[in-house]
Structure 1
Amino acid sequence: MQRKQLLYVLAVLALLISMLPAAAIAQEAPPAQSGDFTIQTYTPPAETKGASQGDKASQPGAPLDGMLVPDGMNFFNETEPNNTAGTANALPGTDLAILGNIYPNGDVDYFSFTGSAGDR
């Protein structure tokens, strides 16, 4: 009986030792993010057909309060209706963070942009 208990203890110790490297890896800090970030706050208004979600957000470069965006990028806010490819919101440039609402349930938002062959 004592031999069986000793084997159980050894098995548990072996299991714990085998898990040790994985636990040590999991506790490593994630790599540092490069770049600067600006913290802004934003409270989205109710979505209304034919209206932008905020006048100051409808133009690129206009700040929104409470959102994180990398420096050098601007917010672009959707304008309803943009539920089909024909009514897609045209993006005014590059380096944009797009803010949109999926409301009501099942809402689809379309955006269009200009690109050249080979662009990434």
Structure 2
Amino acid sequence: MIKQHILVVDDNAAIRNLLKIRLEYSGHTVDLAENGGEGLMMLAQADYDLVLLDYMMPGTTGLTVLEHIKERYPSLAVVMLTGHSGCHIEGQAIAAGARACLYKPFNWVELEDILRCSVGTAS
């Protein structure tokens, strides 16, 4: 698998840290942001291959952050993460430009498949 620079944006510290450990173990470089504003600032300062973005965060929601990302970085792959079930969330995320939507707790094999498929492809 091609190693990627990944930004994880999630308000849950346990999920952020778990993703960082797991993704770094797979050889990726991972940066963490605890909210949408911090995530957008980090995007302006570094080049990322992929963003893993929580749907529900206090303040700026993941969907709003996704819309900003797609305006500024249209080819950047974004995968929405959510702990809320419902096809409306996945539909909103895909319509706004997300590559995929994963439900927490997500399947690691599914995440790795998404990472593999996102290399070098525009949304």
TM-score (normalizing by structure 2): 0.29
Between the two structures, name the one with larger relative contact order (CA 8 Å, sep ≥ 6): 2
Bigger Rg, which one = 1
TM-score (normalizing by structure 1): 0.30
User: Comparing both structures, which one devotes a greater share of its residues to helix?
Assistant: 2
